[in-house]
Structure formats: structure tokens, C-alpha cells
A = this chain, B = another copy of it.
């Protein structure tokens, strides 16, 4: 076989095996939680750890000295997420509780975790049905996924020139970080310091608030602080509470907002800030656009909610006419839905048409490049807007030559075309996903989602957001979908997270043979 394929698939699988073996160490987290809470589901995680490590080690044997090249990177990236999702699903199946015990549901929940999507098929999100260890594992999959995404985005996709990703601000301080294979570990170390640091800061802040001012955070405790720290920085959106962040006090909601915002920023910029050059952040065009978009849409949302007198939401009561509530619900939801976090501090299905239209709009924006956010991403929209402005100008002045600039540098036209191609492909997949979900939904007469629910289900999975509207709303569930739809959405979460092209090239004959 090896002679006929140009791809060194043995080397690729061997590297995937190494990464799976490393991933198996992560089961230590739920094992510790199980031990702390009387040992429930302890065997589940020990068994999962053993199976994952065993499979990883077996894969490693395919090639004892793997030398994966640039071409194998596509392979490694695609299969790492796929296998991580499959082995991460084991605990749900082995524990055998609730809807996630069914293999397809378990795979959905696990893929949703590792892709930091946050869409759930868990029927009953409570400790009545699931152990503390299982619920913490669900949160931890998002945090692990986020670690992978940062490295993927900064060190790998930018080198693959996938969909214009080469334009990303990927120059972290320190030597040679822009070269692929030899320096991945170095890049990872630098960015993970920021990622781990912010996570620890959020966990500590939430816990400190619950200890210092328990009256301000009655529902917060160490377990919840850790659980939500795990799902905020990866723009994950899983919660151990059925009502997401609505379960917590306004003080906790406000505390989470800046960390959600941080999660949607290129971590290379945070590394600049940490290493003493905060101005790099404010000079960056993508950051300024991200900050501007979230500020503008939060303001618009606040005005809409403030003047919507009909909005009644027990237990929080009237929003219309109440400034702090209008501001809090708007800022929280706009930040959460723009950068693909997917947390909710209320059921926004209750909002009026205008406010919902605004939320639907921002769902198509996405996070920054080099962040854990999903979707089309800020940088691409910024390049598209600048390029469209130029297109109008050159329609009037066909002779004019005007480069599109980003951070002062003229952009390569190939990169601009790559960004257009990615964006159209993303929107095309979103639309096809919506059509397939629509056609598939009609197979189940008792499952009657609205068109808008299906539209948002497609973008919420492909864009790794999590919740949408209606049945897939923030307090809802993807459990009602037919199995075929669930499998489609598993694929959508996977390819959306990997920015489509790494999976797409695997489907071409040119990749394997030429």
C-alpha cells in the first residue's frame, strides 16, 4: 500500500495515537471528581482511560519513528478530533444514564464538547440523572478542545494557508514561532500559558465571589466555578445547569462577560499583552473590529430590549424600561452569540422579533482568528468588507490599483480570494445543512421544529455556537432530531471546527495519490 500513496498515513496515524495517549491523561480530572463525590462512575473513567491509552499506543506502533510532513498535517488534524470525540464519548455510554447513553447521542455530546460547540442532546441536565464526574467530564472536553483549537489555529491552519488563515496575526514574541513542525510545541507552550492563566483567573474569581460575598452569588461553589471555568475560555458554552448561566446571579453573569470576550480574541495578542506590549492589542485591526462590533450590537440590543415593554421573564421579571437588565441581557447574549460561546443568561426565545433578528445576525460573525471562537471569523469579514469597498471603487475607476490593507500591510490577492472562497463554502454548507435537516425532519411526524429552528441548528453546529432558536434554544435540546440529522450535525461540528478545508482535501483523489 505504502508505495502507491504519497500520504504517509502510517506516520499520520502514529502521531494521532500519540495525541490520543496524551488525551487519556485527561481522564484524571473526572477520576478525581468521582473520588471526591463517593466514587460514583469511577470505573467508567478508569475503563475509558485504559481503552483510550491502549488504542493510542496501538496506533503509535504503526510507525515507530513517524516523520509527518505538511501533507500529513491535514490527516492528523482531522483524525485527532474524530478519535478524540469517539473515545471521549465512552464515559457517556459506559455510565449508561439518560439520553446520552445511546451511542449516537454520546458521540454528538462528545463531538460538541471537543469542538467547543456546546450543543447538547442531554435530556436531563441535573445531578439526579448524571454523576458529578460525568458532568465535569462534559465540561472538561470543551477545555481540552479549546487547547487543541489554539494550537490548530495559530500553528497549523495559518501555515496551511487554509481559507486565508495565512493572514492571521501569528507572530508571537520568541524565536521562529512562525515555522510549522519544529516549533509547534513552543507556540503551544506560549499560548497555553495565556489560556491556562485566564481559565485559572476565572475559576478563582467565581469561587472567591462565592466565598467573600455569598449573598451576591448564592448558587456558586467550587464545583460550579471549575465547571464554568472549563467551558468559558474555549467559547464552549456547556453548563452543569439546565438553565445555563441564568441559574446564577447578576454578579456572576457580569463576571463571566469579560472572560467570554477574552476567549474570542487571538491568543497571540494576549501573549503580547502578558509579555508587556499591551498596545499590540489595540493596534490590531481584527481586535478593534471585534471590540467595535460587540460594542455596537450590544448597544443596539440594549435599546431594543429597553423599549420592549412586553418582555416578561420570570424569575428575572420585567426587562423593558429596566436599564441594568436590558444592558446585562444584551451584552451577555451578544458577546456569547457573536464569538460562538453559546452561554445564555435567559431564554432569548422570549425576545421580540427585532432582538432575535439581531442575535441571528451576529451568529454569522464568529470569533477572531487564533481564538477559540468558531464561525466565519472577524478577520474574514473585515477583509471582505474592505475588499467590497474596493470593488465598488474599481467599478467607478477601473484603472485604479488599490491593495486591501490589514494592520497597514497590503494583502496578497490570493489570500483575499481564499477568504471569499472559505466564506462562500461555509455559507453554502450552512444552507445545504438547513435543507437536509428540513427534509430529514419531515421523517418524524411528532418532531415539528420551525424553519427558524432548523436554520439556527445548521449555523449553530457548523459555526460551533451551540444553541439556536426554538427547540434548539439555550434551554432546549438537540435530542428530538432524527439519528441521521444528529450524525449530519456531528460532521458539521467537526468540519466547522477544522475550518472545512483540512477535511475537504481528504476527500480528493489528488490528496492521496498525486
* Residues of chain A whose beta carbon lies under 8 Å from any beta carbon of chain B: 71, 74, 160-162, 352-354, 356-358, 360-361, 364, 384, 387-388, 391-393, 395-398, 413, 416-418, 420-421, 423-425, 427, 431-432, 435-436, 438-439, 441-442, 450-452, 455, 501, 504-505, 508, 510-511, 514
- Contact partner, A438, options B353, B392, B397, B432, Cβ 8 Å: B353
Are A71's CB and B501's CB within 8 A?
no
Please give the distance in Å from A354's CB to the nearest CB on chain B: 4
Are A505's CB and B441's CB within 8 A?
no
Are B421's CB and A388's CB within 8 A?
yes
Q: At the interface, is chain A mostly helix, strand, loop or mixed?
A: helix
Chain B: which residue is nearest A356 at the CB level? B438
User: Given the complex, which residues of B lie within 8 Å of A364, measured CB to CB?
Assistant: 431
- Contact partner, A417, options B387, B392, B431, B511, Cβ 8 Å: B387
Are B387's CB and A435's CB within 8 A?
no
A417 and B416 in contact (CB under 8 A), knowing A396-B508, A427-B427? Answer: yes
User: Given the complex, which residues of B lie within 8 Å of A357, measured CB to CB?
Assistant: 435-436, 438-439
Please give the distance in Å from A450's CB to the nearest CB on chain B: 6
Please give the distance in Å from A265's CB to the nearest CB on chain B: 25
Q: How far is the CA of A387 from the CA of B501 in the complex (A)?
A: 14
Number of chain copies forming the complex: 2
Are B388's CB and A441's CB within 8 A?
no
Q: How far is the CA of A427 from the CA of B428 in the complex (A)?
A: 10
Q: How far is the CA of A364 from the CA of B434 in the complex (A)?
A: 14
User: Given the complex, which residues of B lie within 8 Å of A162, measured CB to CB?
Assistant: 395
Q: How far is the CA of A510 from the CA of B395 in the complex (A)?
A: 11
Q: How far is the CA of A151 from the CA of B354 in the complex (A)?
A: 40
Q: What are 11 residue pairs bridging A and B, where the CB atoms are less than 8 Å apart in the complex?
A: A161-B395, A353-B438, A364-B431, A384-B421, A392-B501, A396-B510, A397-B510, A420-B424, A451-B451, A451-B452, A451-B455
Please give the distance in Å from A321's CB to the nearest CB on chain B: 19
User: Given the complex, which residues of B lie within 8 Å of A514, measured CB to CB?
Assistant: 396-397
Are A71's CB and B510's CB within 8 A?
no
Chain B: which residue is nearest A357 at the CB level? B435
Please give the distance in Å from A159's CB to the nearest CB on chain B: 10
Q: How far is the CA of A423 from the CA of B395 in the complex (A)?
A: 16
User: Given the complex, which residues of B lie within 8 Å of A508, measured CB to CB?
Assistant: 392-393, 396
Please give the distance in Å from A512's CB to the nearest CB on chain B: 10
Are A391's CB and B421's CB within 8 A?
yes
Q: How far is the CA of A395 from the CA of B423 in the complex (A)?
A: 16
Please give the distance in Å from A117's CB to the nearest CB on chain B: 22
User: Given the complex, which residues of B lie within 8 Å of A74, measured CB to CB?
Assistant: 396
User: Given the complex, which residues of B lie within 8 Å of A425, measured CB to CB?
Assistant: 388
Q: How far is the CA of A413 from the CA of B424 in the complex (A)?
A: 17
Are B438's CB and A396's CB within 8 A?
no
Q: How far is the CA of A450 from the CA of B451 in the complex (A)?
A: 8
Q: How far is the CA of A160 from the CA of B397 in the complex (A)?
A: 10
Are A387's CB and B161's CB within 8 A?
no
Q: How far is the CA of A417 from the CA of B425 in the complex (A)?
A: 14
Are B396's CB and A511's CB within 8 A?
yes
- Contact partner, A505, options B395, B413, B505, B511, Cβ 8 Å: B395
A396 and B71 in contact (CB under 8 A), knowing A421-B387, A435-B360? Answer: yes
User: Given the complex, which residues of B lie within 8 Å of A439, measured CB to CB?
Assistant: 353-354, 357
Are A392's CB and B505's CB within 8 A?
yes
Q: How far is the CA of A76 from the CA of B199 in the complex (A)?
A: 59
User: Given the complex, which residues of B lie within 8 Å of A435, measured CB to CB?
Assistant: 357-358, 360-361
Q: How far is the CA of A175 from the CA of B476 in the complex (A)?
A: 66
Chain B: which residue is nearest A434 at the CB level? B357
Please give the distance in Å from A503's CB to the nearest CB on chain B: 10
Q: How far is the CA of A169 from the CA of B452 in the complex (A)?
A: 40
User: Given the complex, which residues of B lie within 8 Å of A161, measured CB to CB?
Assistant: 395, 398
